Amino acid sequence: MKHDLVSPAEAAQILKVSPRTIERWRTLSLGPPHVRLGRRVWYRRERLDEYIMVQEQS
């Protein structure tokens, strides 16, 4: 099973928001779920796609 992980900067580009917005969402437990591997933060591409679909429906 392959998991495509993207950095917060890449996630921001995909979601069309600033990297600061992604960081703020993360600290407030908002936005798409993230994965922490060691000290680094990553986002699963499929979760970003799901997040976009949910936002389109609301």
Give the pLDDT of residue 3: 73
Give the pLDDT of residue 12: 98
Q: Identify the H or E element spanning 12.
A: helix 8-15
- The set of residues, in sequence order, having a beta carbon less than 8 Å from that of 21 and lying 6+ positions away, is 12
By C-alpha distance, which of 36, 37, 40, 6 is closest to 51?
6
pTM, two decimals, is 0.87
Q: pLDDT digits over 2-45, tens only? A: 679 999 999 999 999 999 999 999 999 999 999 999 999 999 99
Give the pLDDT of residue 48: 97
